[in-house]
């Protein structure tokens, strides 16, 4: 037998080289993605969207309000602005001077009485026009609402000039019309050449009342009309079937459903009618009769007429703001308790 050939030894397989694993760094999160996750987690998107508007409000309103607050405790006027006299802290002296001034209480009483008449009249006229628009057809309602909004869009200066021309004693339309009516209807007053703005405060504020209502009622009417469109028609149809009168329908259906809207309109009207300045300034021929000053004219007189006292004007502005805040907050709280506002 042949000898079996010896097999060659198999060389050992070399071990693979040992390699040290390189640590893999996790992918770095971009800053924008991190900020986006932070915004979503804390629901900050609405606040970021409001931030530019809030910054603008702070710049335009809060900073001047802070300055007015500081001035109200100082003696600050033309000498302090020019550097002829140093600024002095007077504490509550400006507020004490205001509360001891009989003209302040007279102007406050005039402002409150005017608002007490103008606000309800504006709401009533605006509501009636809104109900009328709701009953008209689409084309006629669009025409009437557009015509009414023209009065609301007229600038206060232009509207005041228009009313001043209408009540002008030299050829004014109102005096001309009243002078041609029978005496049993308009009294024994000689209306030809009658001066509405300088005779007394009552006649001047009567003209101002007509002007304010004429300019303000279109906004009320359109707001009421928008609220009426949300009331289900079935409620009115059911009330009509039951034989309810229009007054009862308004009292039991329209007013309860639109009460939040009426409350907001009431607050707006109070704030607007307390802040009447331009119309009163032009109609009264400022600085005319001081017995005709409302609170806005009184503040302007003390703050800017010679000698101007910006510190006294700042104190008056704070008092005016606090009055409106008390009225607004008190009314809102009472409305929330009654369940009119959520």
Phi then psi for residue 309, to 5 deg, are: -130, 95
* Mean pLDDT of all residues belonging to the chain: 81
Is there a contact between 277 and 300 (Cβ–Cβ < 8 Å)? Answer: yes
Q: Which residues contact 60 (CB under 8 A, 6 or more apart)?
A: none
Alpha-carbon span 58 to 193, nearest angstrom: 51
Question: What are the residue boundaries of the structural domains of the chain, listed by start?
Answer: 101-305
Confidence at residue 117, expressed as pLDDT on a 0 to 100 scale? 93
- pLDDT for residue 62 is more than 60: yes
Residue 302: exposure state from Cβ atoms within 10 A (0-12, 13-18, ≥19): buried
User: pLDDT digits over 135-166, tens only?
Assistant: 888 888 888 888 888 888 888 899 999 988 88
Q: Average the pLDDT over 32-51 and give the result.
A: 73
Confidence at residue 116, expressed as pLDDT on a 0 to 100 scale? 92
- pLDDT for residue 43 is more than 80: no
User: pLDDT digits over 263-315, tens only?
Assistant: 888 888 888 888 888 888 888 877 767 777 888 888 888 888 878 888 888 89
- Per CATH, the number for 101-305 is 1.10.3720.10
Alpha-carbon span 244 to 49, nearest angstrom: 49
Q: Average the pLDDT over 315-337 and give the result.
A: 82
- pLDDT for residue 252 is more than 90: no
Q: What percent of the chain has pLDDT over 90?
A: 9
Alpha-carbon span 296 to 279, nearest angstrom: 11
């Amino acid at each position: 037998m042949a000898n079996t050939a010896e097999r060659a030894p198999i060389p050992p397989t070399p071990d693979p080289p040992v390699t040290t694993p390189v640590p893999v760094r996790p992918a770095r999160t971009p800053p924008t993605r991190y900020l986006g996750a932070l915004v979503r987690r804390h629901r900050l998107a609405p606040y970021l969207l409001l931030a530019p508007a809030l910054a603008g409000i702070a710049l335009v309103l809060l900073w001047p309000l802070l300055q007015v607050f500081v001035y109200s405790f100082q003696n600050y006027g033309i000498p302090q602005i020019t550097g002829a006299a140093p600024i002095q802290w007077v504490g509550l002296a400006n507020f004490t001077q205001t509360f001891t001034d009989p003209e302040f209480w007279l102007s406050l009483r005039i402002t409150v009485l005017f608002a007490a008449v103008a606000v309800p009249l504006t709401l009533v006229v605006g509501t009636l026009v809104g109900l009328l628009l709701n009953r008209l057809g689409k084309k006629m309602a669009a025409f009437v609402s557009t015509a009414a909004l023209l009065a609301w869009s007229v600038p206060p200066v232009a509207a005041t000039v228009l009313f001043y021309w209408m009540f002008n004693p030299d050829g004014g339309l109102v005096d001309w019309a009243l002078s041609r009516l029978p005496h049993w209807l308009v009294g024994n007053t000689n209306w030809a050449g009658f001066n509405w703005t300088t005779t007394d405060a009552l006649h001047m504020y009567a003209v101002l009342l007509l002007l304010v209502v004429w300019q303000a009622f279109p906004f009320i009417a359109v707001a009421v009309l928008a609220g009426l469109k949300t009331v289900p028609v079935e409620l009115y149809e059911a009330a009509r079937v039951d034989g309810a009168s229009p007054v009862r329908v308004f009292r039991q259906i329209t007013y309860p459903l639109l009460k939040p809207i009426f409350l907001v309109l009431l607050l707006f009207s109070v704030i607007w009618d307390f802040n009447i300045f331009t119309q009163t300034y032009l109609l009264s021929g400022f600085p005319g009769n001081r017995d005709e000053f409302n609170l806005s004219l009184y503040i302007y007189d003390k703050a800017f007429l010679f000698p101007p006292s910006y510190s006294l004007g700042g104190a008056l502005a704070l008092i005016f703001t606090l009055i409106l805040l008390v009225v607004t907050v008190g009314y809102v709280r009472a409305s929330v308790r009654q369940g009119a506002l959520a």
